[in-house]
């Protein structure tokens, strides 16, 4: 069977090498005569998996010792509630940047727990840009400022870390591990695993340890960072298979040359696709070029009536999952770490050929 090039936004493609290793080890892991899925999370062999995964992630992102790394469940959406519950402490408000659909959903959830000050918004522009730093209205009394580093649906990404006088909190669900960054600039960052880390079911949270112990009294135990940190993310049974696979991914990333190498590849992949789209009279990308995502490339056919045909023909060519999110339509090619450069070359060749036949 040939594998297709999978441009899915998430759950997303994983490296063949990692999948083959998981397949090889599925029935008999670590010579135990059992699968890694079938052993206790508290057993020594699994503890080794868990510790190695954490250490490898620390090495990849150069996470300093004063930060805790949590391997949780509940997806990024649970973080939309856990963040205000744990970080508000004695404050009543939090600042949010509104730069896309995921920002909007984070704001909606935070509104249940605090007064949200939307410091800047690109909603009126249809979320195709990021408001200039000078225009942000920051409340200095807020507990933190939350932003979505990469808006998966709108294809908008922060090129650099925002400079703000508040503890910085970031949703990195769709671009974690895609480029190096200075962890110390953040109070907390988090990511659902199913895009750039591994399979769905695991959520990674990295936070400065001085933020622990401030959860509001009504915070459910499962939503309390301090409890998870104290228990080594094993307060309840963690998603062991997803954790193991994330560990394999971290080792794969290290072997490839780490996040520095990934950043170069991701830059090349995105540049190739955007350059092709920009010179074309058949396709266009609506996003402000200064804020275009390297991970999720949105593109539209000028003649929307050809959308279905485009998707059908692409699929026949082994180019899968190019349909845009239902809320914005058009096309979206997700170019996460595990997507090979060859996939983008094949996509560009197909797009060229399609435009020549239908343009």
Ligand X SMILES: Cc1ncc(COP(=O)(O)O)c(C=O)c1O
Q: Write out the residues near ligand X by the rule CB under 6 A.
A: 10, 75-77, 102, 148, 152, 171, 173-174, 192
Nearer to ligand X, 309 or 325 (CB): 325
Could you tell me if 239 and 194 are in contact, meaning their C-beta atoms sit under 8 angstroms apart?
Answer: no
Based on the number of CB atoms within 10 Å of its own CB, is 309 exposed (0-12), middle (13-18) or buried (19 or more)?
middle
CB of 157 to ligand X, least distance (A): 10
Classify residue 116 by its DSSP letter. Answer: E
CB of 44 to ligand X, least distance (A): 30
CB of 43 to ligand X, least distance (A): 27
Number of neighbours of residue 318 by Cβ within 10 angstroms = 14
Nearer to ligand X, 148 or 347 (CB): 148
CB of 74 to ligand X, least distance (A): 7
Nearer to ligand X, 205 or 301 (CB): 205
11 prior amide bond cis, ω within 30: yes
Of 73, 39, 81, whose CA–CA distance to 234 is shortest? 73
Rounded Cα gap, residues 206 and 249, in angstroms:
18
CB of 37 to ligand X, least distance (A): 21
Classify residue 295 by its DSSP letter. Answer: S
Of 152, 105, 161, 107, whose CA–CA distance to 133 is shortest? 161
**Cβ neighbours of residue 319 under 8 Å, at least 6 residues apart?**
4, 5, 7, 343, 346, 347, 350
Rounded Cα gap, residues 289 and 274, in angstroms:
9
Catalytic residues: 102, 171, 195
Nearer to ligand X, 18 or 76 (CB): 76
Nearer to ligand X, 6 or 173 (CB): 173
Rounded Cα gap, residues 282 and 226, in angstroms:
53
Lookup: tokens for 115 = 């007064």
For the chain, report the end-to-end CA distance as a whole number of angstroms: 33
């Amino acid at each position: 069977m040939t594998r297709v090039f999978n441009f899915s936004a998430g759950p997303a493609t994983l490296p063949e090498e990692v999948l083959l290793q998981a397949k090889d080890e599925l029935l008999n892991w670590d010579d135990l005569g059992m699968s890694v899925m079938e052993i206790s999370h508290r057993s020594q062999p699994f503890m080794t998996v868990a510790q190695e995964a954490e250490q490898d992630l620390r090495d990849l992102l150069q996470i300093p010792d004063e930060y805790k790394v949590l391997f949780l469940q509940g997806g990024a959406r649970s973080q939309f509630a856990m963040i205000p519950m744990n970080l508000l402490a004695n404050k009543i408000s939090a600042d949010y940047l509104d730069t896309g659909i995921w920002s909007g959903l984070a704001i909606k959830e935070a509104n249940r727990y605090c007064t949200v000050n939307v410091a800047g918004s690109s909603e009126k522009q249809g979320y195709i840009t990021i408001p200039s730093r000078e225009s942000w209205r920051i409340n200095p009394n807020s507990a933190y400022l939350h932003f979505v580093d990469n808006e998966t649906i709108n294809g908008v990404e922060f090129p650099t870390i925002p400079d703000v006088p508040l503890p910085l909190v970031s949703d990195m669900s769709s671009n974690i591990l895609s480029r190096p960054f200075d962890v110390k600039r953040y109070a907390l960052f988090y990511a659902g695993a199913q895009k750039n880390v591994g399979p769905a079911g695991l959520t990674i949270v990295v936070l400065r340890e001085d933020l622990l112990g401030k959860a509001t009294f009504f915070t459910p135990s499962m939503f309390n960072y301090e409890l998870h940190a104290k228990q080594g993310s094993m307060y309840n049974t963690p998603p062991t298979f997803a954790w193991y696979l994330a560990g394999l991914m971290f080792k794969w990333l290290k072997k490839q040359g780490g996040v520095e190498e990934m950043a170069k590849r991701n830059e090349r992949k995105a540049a190739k696709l955007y350059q092709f789209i920009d010179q074309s009279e058949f396709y266009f990308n609506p996003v402000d070029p200064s804020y275009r995502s390297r991970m999720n490339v949105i593109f539209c056919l000028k003649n929307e009536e050809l959308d279905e045909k485009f998707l059908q023909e692409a699929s026949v060519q082994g180019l899968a999952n190019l349909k845009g999110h239902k809320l914005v339509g058009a096309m979206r090619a997700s170019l996460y770490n595990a997507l090979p450069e060859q996939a983008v070359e094949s996509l560009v060749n197909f797009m060229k050929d399609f435009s020549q036949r239908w343009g």
